[in-house]
Amino acid sequence: MSTEVKCSDCGSRDIHHDDARGEVVCNTCGLVISESAIDPGAEWRVFADQDKGGGMERAGQKSTQLLHDKGLSTDIDWQNKDFSGKAITGNRSQLYRMRKWQRRARVANSGERNLAVALAEVVRMCSQMDLPKSITEEAGVLYRKAQQAKICRGRSIEAVVAAVVYITCRITDIPRTLDEVAQHARAGRKEIGRTSRFIVRKLKIRVHTPKAREYVARFCSKLQLDATVEAKASEMIREIEKRGEDNGKGPVSICAAAIYIASILLGQRRTQRECSDAAGITEVTIRNRYKEIVALLDINLEV
DNA sequence: AAGACGAAAGTGGTTGA
DNA sequence: TCAACAACTTTCGTCTT
């Protein structure tokens, strides 16, 4: 297994993976760098004060929706030793029987196996898309619900996962466009759209159509525009929405056009091409929208 | 040469009979 | 289920900076 990981304690690159334990260990100082090879990027924190007396203390990894058994299952080691390393003396066949049942109980049924694959895919997609951990968890929860509602039948895991991520982004008000999701998914745009509509209907999830303002910050940062442009664009969008002139128009296109105008007004001009690229739409659409906005808000673009 | 403009034809999703 | 429809895309020729 190749790795660029450096030991955070002594800086050594001499590191090995202990696959049996799922740990990454520094050979120089013995520091355990990552306790879970399943999700090496994961970070979780304990807030001692919040946990105090809350009965939330636990040993081992944090409970998470992102492992099919929520990370809480027990392992019976392959060696015939107990937790302290002492040899287990009792009945051997009994030990084998325990292992067998444990294996069965954990990933034996197909639903659990499906979940294990799906949740790994959720984690992969979300981290590729730079989504916050909370979204990843939410998406995992939604996948479980979808699975219980028998939505996965006849659909690829990849499509359902992508749909679930898409929906989760929408309901948490950090919308990603279908194209953006499709870019990081292992399913086609069309299928993701179809599947997510199906899930929303089946599970009766309430999703409002995204608002143009929800894209402003992200597109501005993509275009390296500062907060003044962002504020100006938001202001225009608010006015447009207030007058109900956003009806039927794609929120993404309104947002992109508003940013285009704001960038000119504040002397940080971006081309139509740049704006359309950042928003994933065409220049033509920017043109159409921005002319409407200029007319509507009586904006003078002359310098 | 790059950016902006606009016409025209095509695509995919929604809606309403 | 189908056709109509508006938004949006693609393409391309022309004008402007």
Tokens found for residue A110: 């197909």
Asked whether residue A273's C-beta has any atom of DNA/RNA strand C within 7 A, the reply is no
Is A122 within 8 Å of A114 (Cβ atoms)?
Answer: no
Q: What three-state secondary structure class fits A58? A: coil
Strand C bases contacted by the protein (CB, 7 Å): 6-11
Measured CA A200 to C1' C3 distance, in angstroms: 27
List the one residue out of A248, A210, A212 whose CA is nearest residue A233: A212
**Nearest nt (C1') from A250 Cα:** C7
CB-based contacts of A265: which residues, under 8 Å, 6+ apart?
A: A232, A299, A301
Q: How far is the CA of A65 from the C1' of C7 (A)?
A: 39
Q: What is the pLDDT of residues A17-40, one digit of tens each?
A: 655 444 565 665 555 555 443 443
Q: What is the mean pLDDT of each run of 10 residues along chain A (303 residues)?
A: 52 59 55 46 40 44 64 57 60 64 60 87 94 93 92 89 94 90 91 91 88 93 94 94 89 96 94 95 95 91 70
Distance between CA atoms of residues A20 and A45, nearest Å: 25
Residue with CA nearest to C7's C1' atom: A249
State the burial class of residue A124 (Cβ atoms within 10 Å of its Cβ: 0-12, 13-18, 19+). middle
Q: Is the CB of A68 under 7 A from strand C?
A: no
Please, what is the Cα angle at A105 between A104 and A110, to 5 degrees? Answer: 70
Q: Which two tokens stand for residue A224?
A: 């390296």
* Amino acid in position A92: R
